[in-house]
Amino acid sequence: MLLAVCAGILACAGKPTLHFASDPAARFDHLRTWAWYDDPTFQMPGGGSIVDGRFVDEHVRAAVDRGLTKKGLQRVETGQADLNVAYHTDTVGVVSQDKFGGYDWWSGYVYVGAKYQKKGALTLDIRDAKYKLVWRGEMEAIVGRNPEAIARDIDNAVAELLSKFPPGGATR
Tens digit of each residue's pLDDT (9 = 90 or more) over 86-96: 999 987 655 55
- Cα 54–13–4 angle (5° rounding)? 25
Q: How far is CA 39 from CA 20, 54, 142, 150, in A?
A: 19, 17, 26, 24
Torsion (CA) 141, 146, 151, 155 in degrees, nearest 10:
-30
Measured distance CA(123)–CA(157) in Å, rounded: 10
Which residues of the chain are under the pLDDT cut of 50?
Answer: 1-13, 99-112
- Cα 109–112–117 angle (5° rounding)? 145
Query: Domains plus CATH for the chain?
Result: 2-162 (3.30.160)
Predicted confidence at residue 102, as pLDDT, reads: 47
Measured distance CA(170)–CA(69) in Å, rounded: 13
Predicted confidence at residue 141, as pLDDT, reads: 86
Give this prediction's pTM.
0.77
Measured distance CA(93)–CA(21) in Å, rounded: 24
Measured distance CA(23)–CA(9) in Å, rounded: 24
Predicted confidence at residue 3, as pLDDT, reads: 38
Task: Say if strands 83-104 and 33-36 run parallel, antiparallel, or are unpaired.
Answer: parallel
Is the separation of the CB atoms in 127 and 65 below 8 Å? no
Predicted confidence at residue 49, as pLDDT, reads: 75
Predicted confidence at residue 7, as pLDDT, reads: 42
Predicted confidence at residue 115, as pLDDT, reads: 56
Predicted confidence at residue 103, as pLDDT, reads: 46
Q: For the chain, where are the E strands, in sequence order?
A: 17-22, 33-36, 74-75, 83-104, 108-128, 133-142
The conformation of residue 122, written as its DSSP 8-state character, comes to E
Predicted confidence at residue 93, as pLDDT, reads: 56
